[in-house]
Structure formats: structure tokens, C-alpha cells
Structure 1
Amino acid sequence: MVFKVIGDSHPGSHYLGYVKYHPDEKGDRRLFGQTYRQNSVVSKSFGILAGRPECYVYSETLGCVITGIPREDVAVHYSCRQALIAIHEDPGAIADNPVGEDLLAISEWISSNGAQGLIGITGSFLVGCFNERSDIDLVCYGPEGYEAASKLFKQTELIRPYDGDDLTRLYLRRVKYMEGSSFDALIKQERRKRQGLTAKVGAHINCEPIRSDRDKTFARISSKEIGEVSVLAKITDHTEGLTTPAVYGIKVKTILSSTIDEPDSFARRITHMRSYLGAYTGAFRSGDTCI
């Protein structure tokens, strides 16, 4: 199985993450001589790993049980940064893939503009199970990487922004992750992100900003799960929400549902929203309302 790492704070026993690719005869990806299925929903990992209880682990940082891979079971660690450099230097079969051709044009721009090491590749092109329907999933690191990615996504000869009928395609892609968003509100949020369509074949491309290696924001944070509450909240500060993991300052406006006793008094103490999902990174700005 191939895991996608979640966050940058891990217990000594495991790397936290969810199953991104797993063996399945009904899948459409080839990896290690087998047929694999792609997964993009974090919660599905619990079912995929039902026969491997050692992959369930309690995270003090998250305050809940999550999936992960025991450190001693890791066979290969994939480096997003090194992978993109390697693809640029020796593309191999990627050069014969239509989406891969667009990726190579983008990697050439990255190399020519001194951004190698600031931007990496993840997803199917990272692990080698790409096909003609693959997206291009980039990641950038720290403020310098964010700036480089911003310049890249302004190169319209390489990447065109979502517009017209393509906006419906983008909405359908994202709405399953962004609960309660109307079409107009979600598209407004999505336009803030580094994403678009490749110029030649129109493949989806996005870039998720990751905190820099020296960023220790979450190093000493611990959490405890006490229940669930769904609220309508106003974003009061988005400065720490531009990178993954994202943290937004919020002010609760309305309680929608709760399993917590006396939620009205408790809600006043909720001042921040934290997310390890890239879908929420960079989506909100101060003054926005979210669920």
C-alpha cells in the first residue's frame, strides 16, 4: 500500500497518513506489477485497513485515532522535491504520456527559474502509477515556494485558469470536501488557490502550499476529543491558513448541531479552526463565513 502523509507531527511509532493507493483488481492503476485503486477520502482508510489494526494509532496532536503506517513497516519514502528533479532530468515513460508532456514543460519552467527544491510533485507521478487521466499534483514549501508557485500559475502558456464551463467541473471536484458551500461561494474560494488546467491537454493541476521544514507551529500542540460541534463561523484571521496544516482564527456565529453539553457557553471558547486537508488551505479570507 502507498500512504499519503498527514501533517508534520508524528508519534514515535507511526507516520500518520491515509491509504492513497491499494491493491484492487477493479482499480485502474498499475504499480509494483499489480492493479491498484486510488483513494482520496481519508475516512475510507479505516475500512481499507480493517485487517491491519496495527495501522490504527492515537495521535496526541490530533486528539483522536487516525490511520498511519508503523515506522518499521516503511519500505520506501518518496520525496516530492527529489522526484520532480528526477523527472526533469530523466522523464522516462512520462514523456510518452499526454499529461506527462505538460508536466515536463512545467518542470522545465521550474528548473529555468531557480525553483527546484521549492516545488515538488506528489500523487500518481510521484509513485509511478500515472495514466492518461492523471492530475498533476504539485506541492510547494514555505514562503519561497509559495512565491515561486504563484509565479508559475501566472504562466498562461503552461497553465490556464478555470473559467466558463470548466468551473462546473471544478465545483463537482471540490464540493464533496467543502460542506455547505454554494456554487458561487465555493468558486470564490477555489479561485484563491494555485490550480488550473494544463495548456495542452487540459489536465487538472494544483499546488498545495506546505509549511517549511523550519516551521514548528504544531510541534508542541496536543488535543483531546470531547465531542462534536458544527457551527457557522466568521473567519477573523487567515494569515496561518495559507499553508497546510492550516489554522484560521474564527468567531462562532451560530451553533448548528452539537454532542457537547451546554454548547452555547462552550462555543464562545472556540477561537480557531485547524485543518490538515489541502482542500481548506488558502480557501478562506478574513470576513468569510464557513461551516
Structure 2
Amino acid sequence: MRRVRIRDFLETEDMIFSVVTYKHPSNHYNALLRFVRDPRGERTRDNINYRKLSFQEAVNYINTWRPEYGDGEPHKVPDANLKRIVRPKKALSRLNKEGHAEITTITKKLLAEGANSEDLGITGSHLVGLDQPSSDIDFVAYGLKGFKAARLALRKGIKNGGIRSVEEETWGRIYRKRSPELDFDEFIEHEKRKFNRGMIGKRYFDLLFTRSWSEIKDIPSRGKKREKMVVEAKVTDDSFCFDSPAIYEVEHPEIDRVASYTHTYAGQVFKGEELQAKGWVEESEKETLLVVGTSRKAKGEWIRSLDLIKNR
């Protein structure tokens, strides 16, 4: 087994997956199917057509055509079937050398404002050369220090010019895609203070976090579902609140940590603030978690900052 982490992509003979966990069993990788070879596919690479799949399309495809890759989420990519691992850092270097206009512009602006080149990468469709003119750009920053510098650089880029704030129309698209339990105004209030999204011209991009290799430890352990609960608690550590899952250590008599498995609630509450979250209590030998995002759309589950709401 080779070493992989979230935001890496895996290629087999006819499928492309994104890695979705840091830890993996001894014989396969945990991933999600993103693209399949299809003669009628709308995306082309090396004269081969591919089709991009939604989450449900990916689940249906695996269940129907490739059941050996698992019967649920995450999909299981056998090490024996792996042809190539595509790494975000190498891809960003290649795209900048090739002169991809918008990616190069964003990279230069982030570096000028203090981001570190060795901590940046690119993921999503651009990573595997299956992007379209309308594709969003997904940047990655590695490690707590690297992500902090990149996020601050994005914020400074918006303030100093060169990077635009996300426009209202794009916020609407993001809200519809995420379909959160929060109303639009509350969702936007939380999002605008995260400083992990921006625009270059009309092109939207975001900034995602991935742990450095040395930080891959103390990953939340999923346990036995106990009950649904609403928790209000002070956040004592937000170090990995932009991770996947997003982790909030809290001061609470029953819950050790709140873990969000949906990106909607990453970076939602900061250290020292009062968090309100609804999700499933899961108990393992190691800890008691409140898990948000137990389903893909996380219906009936949320995380919000009570401090942000009080200070409206």
C-alpha cells in the first residue's frame, strides 16, 4: 500500500477516485468515484472521454457495474487495481509551468501575500486534467501552518486587490449546492468570515485544508450510534476545524469532540466561541463524538456559532 491522504486522486484502468480518509485498511483505499470512462462523456483527456458523476450517480454506478469496489460510501479501491496516484502539489507545479492563466494568477497572488509555495496544491477536476472552462478551482494548503498562511494571504489579497470577494450570485449557487439547515443570511454570515473562498475575474476558487504527513494522527474514531442530540458548548480547540472531518474540541460533560463529515460546517465556529450543533452521538472505546453529516445532505443536522448570532 502506498501513502495517500485526502485531496489525492487515484486512477484505475477506467475510473478516477478522490481519496476521502487519512487512514486506510491494508488492502484497499477509501475513496469516492468521481469520473468514469464513457464514449459519450463530456470531458476529454488524451483523446479518451470521461463522464463526471454526482455522489448518487457514483454510488449507483459502483453498485450496478463494479460491486467489487464496495456497496456504500466510501468506495474501496483495491491496491492491486491502482494504476496511478495523482498528487495536488505536483499538479499545481505542472499547471503553473504550463501557464494556466487563472491558476497562475491566483498562485502568484497568494505567494505575494505570504503563502508558502511548498504548501500549496490543486485538486478536483484540474488535478486530473478533466476540467472545463466553467470548472471551479480547488486549491489545497498543507499543514496547519501552511493553511493559516494561505488563508491569511487570501484575506489580504481581497483587502489589497487582485482577489475578489465572492459575488452574490455565486453565494446563491453555493447555498443551493450545500442545501444547509441554516437560512441563507445565517449561512452567508458564517461563510464570509472563513476567508477560504475568492474569485479571479468571474472564476470562483476555494482553499481546502489537508494535514501534513506528521499531523495525520488522532483522527476521530466512528463509534456506535447512541442518540440524536443538540449540544451547546464552548469550543476549546479549533485547530482542525477546516479538516475533513472538521473537528471541534468542546467543553461538555458528555461530548469530547464535534466532528463534521460535511464540508458545509468546516470552519464554522472558532476557539472561545459557543457552538450549537445537532447530530448523532457516537461512542467508541476512545471517545464520545457528536457527528454532524451522518447523511450526504446532513438533513436535520447543523453547526452554528451562537456568538456570531448574538452579535448580529
Q: TM-score, normalised by structure 2?
A: 0.71
- Tell me the residue number matched to 2:276: 289
Compute the displacement of 1:151 (Å).
3.2
Compute the displacement of 1:173 (Å).
3.0
Higher mean alpha-carbon deviation, 101-110 vs 68-77, is at 101-110
Task: Identify the match of residue 234 of structure 1 among 232, 235, 256.
Answer: 232
Compute the displacement of 1:22 (Å).
2.0
Compute the displacement of 1:149 (Å).
1.4
Compute the displacement of 1:198 (Å).
2.4
Q: Check the 8 A contact 1:235/1:284 in 2, yes or no.
A: no
Between the aligned partners of 1:289 and 1:88, the Cα distance in structure 2 is 42
From the superposition, tell whether residues 287 and 205 of structure 1 become closer, same or farther in structure 2 (CA, over 3 Å): same
Letter in 2 for 1:144: K
Between the aligned partners of 1:181 and 1:121, the Cα distance in structure 2 is 29
- Tell me the residue number matched to 2:58: 45
Compute the displacement of 1:24 (Å).
4.1
The answer to whether residue 126 in structure 2 is matched with residue 125 in structure 1 is yes
Letter in 1 for 2:126: F
1:193-204 residue pairs with structure 2 within 5 A? 193-200=194-201, 202-204=202-204
Between the aligned partners of 1:108 and 1:287, the Cα distance in structure 2 is 37
Compute the displacement of 1:111 (Å).
5.4
Compute the displacement of 1:144 (Å).
2.2
Q: What per-residue deviation string (whole Å, max 9, x for no partner) do you get for residues 143-169 of structure 1?
A: 221123123313133321124444323
Between the aligned partners of 1:225 and 1:32, the Cα distance in structure 2 is 46
In structure 1, the residue corresponding to 2:209 is in which secondary structure? strand
- Tell me the residue number matched to 1:79: 87
Q: Check the 8 A contact 1:138/1:207 in 2, yes or no.
A: yes
Compute the displacement of 1:8 (Å).
0.7
Task: Identify the match of residue 44 of structure 2 among 12, 27, 30.
Answer: 30
From the superposition, tell whether residues 158 and 196 of structure 1 become closer, same or farther in structure 2 (CA, over 3 Å): farther
- Tell me the residue number matched to 1:108: 108
Q: Check the 8 A contact 1:242/1:281 in 2, yes or no.
A: yes
Compute the displacement of 1:81 (Å).
0.8
Between the aligned partners of 1:172 and 1:65, the Cα distance in structure 2 is 23
Between the aligned partners of 1:31 and 1:232, the Cα distance in structure 2 is 47
Residues matched between the structures, number:
255
Between the aligned partners of 2:134 and 2:61, the Cα distance in structure 1 is 23
Q: Check the 8 A contact 2:249/2:258 in 1, yes or no.
A: yes
From the superposition, tell whether residues 65 and 79 of structure 1 become closer, same or farther in structure 2 (CA, over 3 Å): closer
From the superposition, tell whether residues 151 and 247 of structure 1 become closer, same or farther in structure 2 (CA, over 3 Å): closer
Q: Check the 8 A contact 1:85/1:116 in 2, yes or no.
A: no
- Tell me the residue number matched to 1:161: 165
Structure 1: any 5+ residue segments left out of the alignment? 58-63, 95-100, 253-267
Compute the displacement of 1:251 (Å).
7.7
Compute the displacement of 1:197 (Å).
4.0
Root-mean-square deviation (Å)? 2.8
Q: Check the 8 A contact 2:115/2:146 in 1, yes or no.
A: no
1:130-145 residue pairs with structure 2 within 5 A? 130-145=131-146
From the superposition, tell whether residues 34 and 234 of structure 1 become closer, same or farther in structure 2 (CA, over 3 Å): farther
From the superposition, tell whether residues 80 and 272 of structure 1 become closer, same or farther in structure 2 (CA, over 3 Å): same
- Tell me the residue number matched to 2:24: 10
Compute the displacement of 1:2 (Å).
0.9
Compute the displacement of 1:170 (Å).
3.0
Compute the displacement of 1:250 (Å).
5.3
Q: TM-score, normalised by structure 1?
A: 0.76
